[in-house]
Every structure is written in structure tokens, then in C-alpha cells.
Amino acid sequence: MLKISSRSVEKMMPQDRLYSLRSLDTPTAGKILARWLMGIGVIFFIVLFLPWQQNIRGNGKVTALNPANRPQTVETVIAGRIQTWKVSEGQYVTKGDTIAVVSEVKEKYFDPQLLLRLREVIDSKESSLQSKDDKAKALRKQISALRDGMRTKVEQSKAKLEAERVKFANAKNQFERNKKLFEAGNIPLTKYQDMEYKYQGAEADLTNAQIEIERVQAEYLDKINKAESDLNNTLAEQFDTQAELAKLRNELVNMEIRSQQYFIRAPQDGFVVKAARAGIGETLKEGDPVCTIMPQSNDVAVEMYVKAMDVPLLSKGRKVRIEFDGFPALQFSGWPSVSVGSFGGLVEVIDFVNSKPGEFRILVVPDKNDDPWPKQIRNGSGTQGWVMLDDVPVWYEIWRQLNGFPPSLYEEPLDAVIQTEEPKKEKKK
């Protein structure tokens, strides 16, 4: 039995003659199990060469493609205290409907007649401005009148000066003639002195006429300068009043707008989902959320997150298979044709920056050539998705998964190829 000797006992005594060995037959169950294992092995070997469609898996949630159709938080613009609620959670509201009413918490705006008082102040300022404007017009007229008066007086003084010059010339001539006569002894001394006195008087009158012109100009210029100074002061007050009036008007408009902010209104049609403040009398700060509104829209998309190493393999237009939470499904990721309960989609958006560490976000829209998505899905519902790539043998996919390699990509979808070729044609043109 140990085969130590070179002589074999088996040739001398075959095993089929031994009674004990003939009594031990191979069990039927063992034969069946061996046949099943051989059949399974053959099937597994055949399966290794079947085509397997590679895919990129990602998790996400239901959202809307248009940001305007996503859940929107309604915030208060001003600080206030909730006075009353006009809606309840789950209620449908249209754009402009009042959601809540708030009251003031700042003492500056406690006066209920604040708008009326501001209008009264503005009216008084406008009247003051009108008075200053009338005063400025009167001063301008006064300055104009003074200039006209100065011009007239100067002309009169110049005319008088010319008359005095003629008078002085005559007196001078008479004086010189009488002087010669006096020196010749033809007239008495008294007459000569009288003519000399007249000559000196005419000279004095001429000098006074010249001085009168300068005095008139100085007098009127002093009055004009004073009037111009008053006019400048009036204009400065007028400008200050205009600035104060502009501030008051601005404050009035701000108060009118603020009074409209006491009513928190719905920015668009939708359902009131959640109230962030739950009681009457709760205080709100500027920008605090009041409630959330879910717009009513058929704009549905799936927000998926995929690994960073798979992003280079994605392109717009890739087909996606999606499972929604709450809907039973049997998904064979590599054989989408035999899957049950999943829905088709197309990659619409691929983010250019990572949304989470090591993950990128993509947006998937419904595939119009596939079954429509369920109407019961709601924004925020969880999803699982598979972005479908190309076909490879099953053995290659098993080998890739064991080694942790990324999927292979041989050809891009037709939509992506067209989109990449169009910019090239434009550059050539």
C-alpha cells in the first residue's frame, strides 16, 4: 500500500475483486453535484465573454434644471416682529400673495404718522426754497436797476463835466484877456480880481465835476457789491435747502418702500413648504428666512455626484439609467436592456469645479426617447444613477474592478462629437 517495494500488488490483485471496494459505489448526489458544478463552470466561462456595458455610478437627488424652479427661501428685507401669518404650510400661493405681516421694532419708525410728517417737512422746505428763489430774483432785479442807475448818473456827471469844461474854458479866456488889459492899465484892479475869482471858481467846479463821477461810481458799486453779496448768500441758502429737500425726498421714498416691506409676499407661484419662524411676535433681523416656497413646475432634473477620476469620461449627451427612492427596481448596470424599474436620462451639465472633495456634480435631464419619469417624484428625493459608456467583455470588467482601474472610453456619443466639431469649423471660417 505504501509502494515501498518494486513489486505491485495491484497487478496481482485488481481492485474490482476486492469485496470491500466493490461495496463502496460513488454516491448519486455526488455525481449530480459534479455535473452541476461542471455546468455552472461552463456557463460562467461563457458569461465571461458576454458583452458588458461599462458605467459610472453616482448618487444624488431630484432637483430642477432651472435655478428659478428650485426651492426658494423667502427672507425679510427689514427687521421686524411677526404680527400675523396669512398662509399655512402646504398651501399654494401665487406671486404677490401676502405670506406674513411684520411690525416695526426700531424706535425711529414707531410714529404711525411718519410719512405724513415727512411730507409736511418737505412742503415747508419747498416753500422756503420758493421764497429764497423769489428773493434771488428780486436781488437780481435790484442789481440790474443799480447798474442802470449808475450808468445814468455817470452819464449825467459826464455831461455836467463837459459843461464845466466849457465854462472853465470861457472863464479862462476872459481871465487872460482881462489880465492883459489890466497889465496895460485899461481896466481897474477890482474888475481884474472879479474875473480872476470867476476863473478860479470855474476851475474848482471842473474839479468837483470830475470828483463827482468817481463818487457816483463808488457809491453805486458799493450798493451793487452789497446786493451781489446778498444774492450769493441767498443762492447758497437756496442750494443748502435743495440738498436738504433732496435728502428728505429720498427719506420719504425709502419710508414708502419700507412701509411696503411690512407685507412679506410670495416671489413666485408655488407651495409653502416650511415656515422658519413659528410664532406671533417672533423678532426677525434683516435677511432672516421666513419660509420656503417650492415652485410648481415640470422642470425636473437629477443632481448626481461622480468621482473625479471618472469625470474625463463624461460628456454631454451620455445616456443615464436612474433609480428613484420609493420606486421598486431591478437594475443590472451592465445590461440595461434587462433592467426593470429604472428610467432613462441624458447628461446635460458637467460642473467645471468640484462640488465635494474628490467629486464633481452633473445634472441629468429626462430622455425624451425613454419612458417618462414618474410624476410622484419630489424635489430632494434620493436617486442612484449609472452613466452608460461602451461595451466590453465581462472578464475585462471583472479584471478592471479587481485592479481599481477607471472605465475605458473608446467613442464619444454623437451629440458630443457634433458639439466639439462645430467650434473647429467656426475657427476655420
pLDDT of residue 425: 47
- Which single residue is written with the C-alpha cell 458630443? 416
| Burial letters 346-359, b for 16+ CB under 10 A, else e | bbbeeeeeeeeeeb
pLDDT of residue 347: 93
d(CA 112, CA 104): 10
| Cβ 316 vs Cβ 365: under 8 Å | no
Residues constituting the chain: 429
Here the cell at position 40 is 455552472
pLDDT of residue 9: 55
Here the cell at position 152 is 445814468
pLDDT of residue 376: 86
d(CA 192, CA 176): 10
Displacement of CA 300 from its chain's centroid (Å): 25
SS3 category, 313? helix
DSSP string, 138-155: HHHHHHHHHHHHHHHHHH
Instruction: Please state the φ and ψ torsions of residue 140, each to the nearest 5 degrees.
Output: -65, -40
Which parts of the chain have pLDDT scores under 70? 1-27, 52, 278, 330-339, 401, 404-406, 408-429
d(CA 215, CA 129): 38
Half-sphere exposure of residue 146: CA atoms within 13 angstroms, side-chain side: 19
pLDDT of residue 420: 44
For each of the domains in the chain, give its residue range(s) and CATH number, in order of start: 52-66+297-428 (2.40.30.170), 69-104+262-295 (2.40.50.100), 114-260 (1.10.287)
CB atoms within 10 A of CB 370: 16
Residue 374 has what DSSP assignment? P
pLDDT one-digit tens code per residue, 134-160: 999 999 999 999 999 888 888 888 888
- Edge-to-edge strand order for the sheet containing 263-265? 263-265, 98-103, 80-85, 283-284
pLDDT of residue 236: 92
d(CA 245, CA 361): 54
| Cβ 68 vs Cβ 295: under 8 Å | yes
